[in-house]
Amino acid sequence: MSDVPPSHPRYASLKTREKVVEGVEKGITGLNGLIAQGRGEALDYLIGERTTASGAEAERAAAAMLLLAERPVLSVNGNAAALVPEEMVLLARKIDAPLEVNIFYRTEGRVKKIADLLRSLGTGKVFGENPNAVIPGLDHARAKAARGGIYDADVVFVPLEDGDRCEALVNMGKKVITVDLNPLSRTARTSTVTIVDNVVRALPNLIALVEEMADLDESELNSVLAGYDNRAVLRRSVEEIVSHLSGRFSALED
C-alpha cells in the first residue's frame, strides 16, 4: 500500500480505504461506495475496530444458518467486490453456494466487471448478468434478480445491503444475513441475522466458523440458532459502543 508502514496505528483502516478507492478506479465500485466506506470507517472506530462479542455471536449464528440452508446464495456488491472478493469466493465454495452480483446503482458494465473478477478468482457460478426475475416491492432497477440465484434462495448472505432491498427479501420469506457496522440502520433491524462488524473481519471469521462447524449435525446447528435473538444482539452491540466510548472518554480525563 502506497507509503504507509504496517506499524502505522491506522494501517488496517487505511489499507481498507485504499482497496475501495482502487475498486472505484477499476470500475468495480461506484462513487457512492466511497461514501458508504466513510460511514463504515466512522462506525468501526466507534466499535473499537475489532470483532465485538455480539459480532462474534452473530457470525456463529450466520455460519450455522448458511450450513443449514438448502439454497444459500451470496450476494456481492461493489464494496464487497473491492474489499473481500477472494473471501466471498472461498466462502461460496465452502458452503457450495453460487454468487450473485447485486449492486445498488446498476450498470451492466459494472456488473460484468464484478462477475469477471469473481470468475477470475475461480468461482463456479455467478448470477447477476442476466437477471430474469423481479423482487416484489422494489423499483425496476433494484428489483432485478436471477432465478436459481437470489430469487430462489432460502438464505441470502448479503453484506452491505440497503434497507429497502433487505426488507423486500425478508418479505419474500427469505432468511437474510447482512454485515453492517451500523446496528441502528434499517438493514440491521430488518435482517434475520445482522453481523455488526467490518466486512474485512467478518468474512475471514465466517470462513473459519463454517470450517469449524462443518462436522456438526443438523440438530446441533439448529441449537446454535435456537438461542439466537437478533434484536438482543443489536442492543448489545449498541451497549458495546457505549462502553467502548466511555473507556475512551475516561482516557481523556487522565
Pairing of strands 144-145, 133-134: antiparallel
Looking at the Cβ atoms of 100 and 167, the one nearer to ligand ATP is: 167
Residue sitting closest to ligand ATP (CB): 40
Q: Shortest gap between Cβ of 37 and ligand ATP (angstroms)?
A: 5
Nearby residues of 64 by Cβ (< 8 Å), 6 or more positions away:
213, 216, 221, 222, 224, 225
Q: Which residues contact ligand ATP by CB under 6 A?
A: 36-37, 39-40, 43, 79, 83, 160, 162-163, 179-182, 185-187, 198-199
Looking at the Cβ atoms of 38 and 122, the one nearer to ligand ATP is: 38
- Do residues 162 and 35 make contact, with C-beta atoms less than 8 angstroms apart? no
Q: Shortest gap between Cβ of 115 and ligand ATP (angstroms)?
A: 21
Q: Shortest gap between Cβ of 84 and ligand ATP (angstroms)?
A: 9
Looking at the Cβ atoms of 91 and 160, the one nearer to ligand ATP is: 160
Task: Tell me how far apart the alpha carbons of residues 126 and 73 are, in angstroms, rounded to a whole number.
Answer: 10
Looking at the Cβ atoms of 40 and 72, the one nearer to ligand ATP is: 40
Say which amino acid occupies 154: D
Q: Shortest gap between Cβ of 97 and ligand ATP (angstroms)?
A: 20
Q: 145 has which bridge partners?
A: 133
Q: What is the DSSP letter of 178?
A: E
Phi-psi group of 137: left, alpha or beta (phi > 0 → left; psi -120 to 50 → alpha; rest → beta): left
